[in-house]
Structure 1
C-alpha cells in the first residue's frame, strides 16, 4: 500500500465538472494498493496518517496533528502509484492491485479513517477525476507498507 499525503489549505475532486469531494485544511491523500495488501497495511497507515503531526504550533514547529486543527481528509484512489517505468516510455501497472481487490480495500481504508474521528471526503474509485489543491508548506509525505 502506498500513500502520497499532501498537507493542504483546501482541496477538491471533480468528475465531469461536478465536485464530489471537498475539504478545507487537512490532508489530500493519493492511495494505491498492491495485491497482497490487507488489514495490516490499512490499520498501520490509518494510524500513521491520523497521528501525523505536521501542523504548526504557537512556536511555528510542526507539532500539531489533524485533529488538533480540526482538519479533514480528501482520499483519492490512485493505482498509478504502482507504475513501473523501468522499461520503455509507457508505464506498466502490473504491480497494482486489480480493481476487484483494490476497491474493497479503498472503501475499508476510508471507513477506518472516518472511524478514527476524522471527516473524510473521497473521489470515486476508477473514475476520471480532476483534483485541485493548495499544498501548504509545501509538505508532502510518502508512506509505504
Structure 2
C-alpha cells in the first residue's frame, strides 16, 4: 500500500516576528493545504491546516522514546472537537488511516509502520524545505 502527503499554499495567517520564528509559536501561524493519498487515491483534502503543528505532532509520535507506539491522533488548536487524522493499530500489528474528514474509508487497507514512517519523512522534508524557503527558518532546530 502507498501513503503520501502533499502540501501546497503554505503561508502565514499573520506576520511572524523573529522571536516567534525562533520558538514553536510558529505552529499557530503557518497554514497550508494538505492532501493525503492512499494507494494513489485522494483520501483527504483540506485547506488552511496548521501544517507545522501537524509536523511537530507527527514527529513527536514517530520519535517516541519508549518505543511503545500508541495510535496517532492529531487534534489541532483550530479544530479541537474532532481528530483530524489518526493512525490506528490493529491486533495484527498493521495500521490503518482514519479522519473525520476522509473522502473514503481506508479501514480495510493495511499500512505497515514503515510505510507510515516513509510517508511522514517525505512530509517532514517537504515542510522543512518550504519553511526554509518562505521564512528562512530551519524548523529542525525547534524540535
TM range (shorter): 0.3 to 0.5
TM-score, normalising length: structure 2: 0.33
- Larger fraction in strand: 1
- TM-score w.r.t. length of structure 1: 0.33
Q: Which one has more relative contact order, counting CA pairs under 8 Å at least 6 apart?
A: 1
